[in-house]
Structure 1
Amino acid sequence: MDLREKEMRSNRAAVYSSAVDTTGKPLFCDIGLAERIERAEVQLITKGSAAAHRRNGDGRGFLKPIAGGVAAFAEHASPLNKVAGLGFGGMPDDGLLDEVEQAFADRGAPVQVELAHVADPAIGAALTERGYRLTSYENVLGFPLSAVHERFAPEGIEIRPSGEEEFEAWLEAVADGFAHPDTQGVPSHEEFPREVIAAAVRDLVGAAGMRRYSAVCNGAVVGGASVRMTDGIAQMTGAATAPAHRRRGIQTALLAVRLADAAAAGCDVAVVTTQPGSKSQENVQRQGFHLLYTRAILVKQT
């Protein structure tokens, strides 16, 4: 083993020991916790979509409350186009579902529902009867936050809050990282152009009250991440590292600083969404995150 590999393993071991849930008890997700997380997701999608509507000003976007969730169309081909948060506010009305489906059809977009498996099971059955097909899954993992979490930075990397003066460099690093995902695990059923990802991230950061962090190497931003805090939930709203700087512990360090700041701000749970079996899921589980629930991705072509 060469010196660089030893250093990388040492860095990973150090952050693992500082971030892992030392109680060893799995974080149990009851209906109340799932509802809190889904409510935070609805807020996030709503704020990001509304920002896209303001940016475009063409009147094509929409936000429709539906049974405790939201149907959102931000703009063409956006990752924010979806129905989120169903299952905790009663059964969606058939007439409103008709309206939502027609609204997506008018914009040439499919309807994508992200339905938590702990939600009312009658909703999944009703959607299937309406022609929705199971397309994919995504996992929601959680970490119980205590009062103190340690920060960490790999050798040669500075992890710091990201100021407005470097926003474009931060956005470039994040968009570049998302445009080149790791290929481990179940492939995503969606792919988005780099410019669409950048627009969505810009809207979310500007409207949703996120805290941004940069990973800096030799003066250049080589990675970035963000967190949104609401109702005691710390949403790990994306982290990415430039391909040339991966496998150095940057993602782990970006996670550690966000956990520390979320704990200091009084959040009790941190959550992250990953593709099943992905490198991202492996990384966060190694640091103490527990699988809370899975969202089924149900799609209806309009």
Structure 2
Amino acid sequence: MRTAQSRPPVTARHVPLFCDTTLATRIERAEAQLIAAASTATRHRRGDAAGFVLPVAGGVASFAEADSPFNKVAGLGFGDAPSAAELDEIERAFTTYGVPTQVELAHLADPTIGTVLTERGYRLVSFENVLGLALDASSGGDTPEGIDIRTSEEGELERWLDVVVDGVAHPDTQGVPSHEEFPREAVRGAVRDLAGATQAARYAALRDGVLAGGASMRMRDGIAQLTGAATAPAHRRRGIQTALLAARLADAEAAGCDLAVVTTQPGSKSQQNAQRAGFDLLYTRAILVRQL
């Protein structure tokens, strides 16, 4: 069992982390690599050659399997602008599997891309926020009494998945709702593949000795990507999310990462928890979809 180090509270003198296009490029490339690795892992799990991962304009287009959250274009707009031929190729690829083409486009990306996509019939359907925290020796936080955070053991993977998937299936209603819903088994497969393929560290939260929540984190090139956290509905409002966040931040700083990032729904409880821990809103991604 472990307790995260103490982190001083955020004060009015807190200087927000400034995000320019250089920092956004770094974050979006890490996101594209994450999606590519997870999508490839899904195909390996199935044991067939269906699906694809295609590079496009500094990002990646991915189809993992039916109903997967990895079916999208990520990291677009921080290399050269995509050509018409490149967009034709990825749209045909998604159409082959009978799904629309979904693009996550950061508002710091090349602004001409939004015009190109809307002219091709893409429609804005939602937004998501990317928040970041510059890590230092104070990264971490206090763990509430009765809650223990530890690395999840290999032998408890299935139980860990049960808790995480159950938490995802019962999201908090605060903030803007997600435009997507995924079948339970698709979520389970995605969480398994994300943790396994990307070498993400898994964390277990125990409340009075009972497995009550889980989270994961991927560290690459100095960036700690907080790749998900969930609490079982019966254990919510007990500080578990905050404790999972604090433990991951402390570990990321100790491992030499200089930046932690997390993606949230706008106005959500997850965003509120992150900002209470000192995260700043760096940029927003627009979700654009071209239907079949």
Scaled by the length of structure 1, the TM-score of the pair is: 0.92
2:46 maps to which residue?
56
Change (3 A) 1:17 1:218: closer
Q: How many Å apart are 1:58 and its aligned residue?
A: 3.1
1:275 maps to which residue?
265
Q: How many Å apart are 1:195 and its aligned residue?
A: 1.1
Q: Which moved more, 1:143-152 or 1:205-214?
A: 143-152
Secondary structure, counterpart of 1:36 in structure 2: helix
Mapped partners of 2:170, 2:134: distance in 1? 30
Mapped partners of 1:44, 1:150: distance in 2? 24
Once the two structures are superposed, the pairs formed by residues 89-238 of structure 1 within 5 Å of their partners are 89-238=79-228
- What number of residue pairs does the alignment pair up? 288
Change (3 A) 1:16 1:118: farther
Q: Which moved more, 1:152-161 or 1:195-204?
A: 152-161
Paired letter, 1:161: T
Mapped partners of 1:128, 1:150: distance in 2? 42
Q: How many Å apart are 1:162 and its aligned residue?
A: 0.8
Contact 2:127 2:286 in 1 (8 A): yes
Contact 1:19 1:287 in 2 (8 A): no
Q: How many Å apart are 1:218 and its aligned residue?
A: 3.9
Paired letter, 2:130: V
Contact 1:16 1:287 in 2 (8 A): no
Paired letter, 1:122: T
Contact 2:165 2:184 in 1 (8 A): yes
Contact 1:16 1:286 in 2 (8 A): no
Mapped partners of 1:208, 1:66: distance in 2? 21
Secondary structure, counterpart of 1:58 in structure 2: coil
Change (3 A) 1:218 1:294: same
Secondary structure, counterpart of 1:298 in structure 2: strand
- Comparing both structures, which one devotes a greater share of its residues to helix? 1
Contact 1:19 1:150 in 2 (8 A): no
Mapped partners of 1:219, 1:228: distance in 2? 26
Secondary structure, counterpart of 2:237 in structure 1: coil
1:78 maps to which residue?
68
Paired letter, 1:75: E
Mapped partners of 2:75, 2:8: distance in 1? 29
Is 1:40 paired with 2:30? yes
Paired letter, 1:139: N
Structure 1 stretches lacking a partner, 5+ long: 1-14
Q: How many Å apart are 1:19 and its aligned residue?
A: 5.8
2:283 maps to which residue?
293
Secondary structure, counterpart of 1:18 in structure 2: coil
Mapped partners of 1:240, 1:121: distance in 2? 34
Structure 2 stretches lacking a partner, 5+ long: none
Mapped partners of 2:112, 2:139: distance in 1? 40
Contact 1:148 1:264 in 2 (8 A): no
1:245 maps to which residue?
235
Q: How many Å apart are 1:21 and its aligned residue?
A: 5.0
Scaled by the length of structure 2, the TM-score of the pair is: 0.95
Change (3 A) 1:267 1:16: closer
Mapped partners of 2:51, 2:141: distance in 1? 40
Secondary structure, counterpart of 1:77 in structure 2: coil
Change (3 A) 1:189 1:70: same
Mapped partners of 1:109, 1:20: distance in 2? 45
Give CA-to-partner distance per residue, 1:134-192, whole Å, 9 cap, x none. Answer: 11000000111002434532222211111101111111111110110001111100001
Paired letter, 2:288: L
Mapped partners of 1:175, 1:19: distance in 2? 32
